[in-house]
């Protein structure tokens, strides 16, 4: 337990240091492919948010989900990719094949659906090759191109605001 907190601290420090020197401009173009990075510790309505995206015109096959859980039990199985602190090394390197595939996919939009900073989530968000990143304003501002000021429990408000501004930004 203590080692997880220490590893979390070290990885977060590495990400914050990289964010200080990172500068990326959002790409132009319409949103067709969407990646969603969830923190299942606080938000369990994954299917409802995906349904909101589909209702707003995103095709289900164009949505990729990656879920973070604090603890994964030994016999627990999932029908979607899941990762935890164990998949992140002390040097902020990643071993998990699912995470690497998610990071190297060039999404038109990455939705960072977490409002609490955790090193593993920050690392995956930062390393992602997504062209446009959206998330909550309570997370480090340097990580996103677009931020929404609400709580993770209000997925309907998040979705409505996201698509309202995507339309204004001519991405939808």
Q: Rounded distance, CA 74 to CA 67, Å?
A: 17
pLDDT reported for residue 51 = 92
**Range 158-166 contact pairs with CB under 8 angstroms and sequence separation of 24 or more:** 158/49, 158/113, 159/49, 159/52, 159/53, 159/56, 162/111, 162/134, 163/56, 166/31, 166/109
Domains of the chain: 2-23+32-168 (3.40.50)
User: Which residue, 172, 153, 63, is CA-closest to 113?
Assistant: 153
Give me 166's structure tokens: 């995507």
Percent residues over pLDDT 70 in the chain: 84
pLDDT digits (tens, 9 = 90+) for 43-65: 788 888 899 999 998 999 999 99
For residue 122, the model assigns a pLDDT of 87
If 0-12 CB within 10 Å is exposed, 13-18 middle and 19+ buried, where does residue 93 land?
exposed
Which helix H or strand E contains 137, and what residues bound it?
A: none
Residue 168 binned pLDDT confidence (cut-offs 50, 70, 90): confident
Who wins on pLDDT, 35 or 119?
Answer: 35
Q: In the 8-state DSSP scheme, what is residue 139?
A: S
């Amino acid at each position: 337990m203590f080692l997880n907190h220490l590893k979390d601290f070290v990885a977060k420090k590495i990400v914050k240091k990289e964010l200080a020197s990172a500068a990326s401009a959002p790409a132009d173009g319409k949103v067709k492919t969407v990646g969603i990075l969830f923190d299942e510790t606080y938000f369990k309505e994954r299917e409802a948010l995906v349904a909101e995206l589909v209702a707003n015109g995103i095709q289900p096959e164009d949505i990729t989900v990656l879920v973070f859980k604090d603890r994964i039990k030994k016999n627990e199985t999932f029908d979607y990719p899941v990762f935890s602190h164990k998949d992140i090394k002390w040097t902020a390197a990643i071993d998990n094949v699912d995470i690497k595939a998610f990071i190297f996919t060039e999404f038109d939009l990455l939705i960072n659906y977490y409002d609490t900073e955790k090193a593993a989530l920050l690392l995956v968000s930062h390393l992602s090759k997504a062209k446009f990143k959206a998330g909550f304003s309570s997370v480090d501002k340097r990580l996103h191109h677009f931020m929404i000021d609400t709580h993770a429990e209000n997925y309907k408000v998040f979705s409505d605001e996201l698509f309202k501004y995507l339309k204004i930004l001519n991405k939808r």
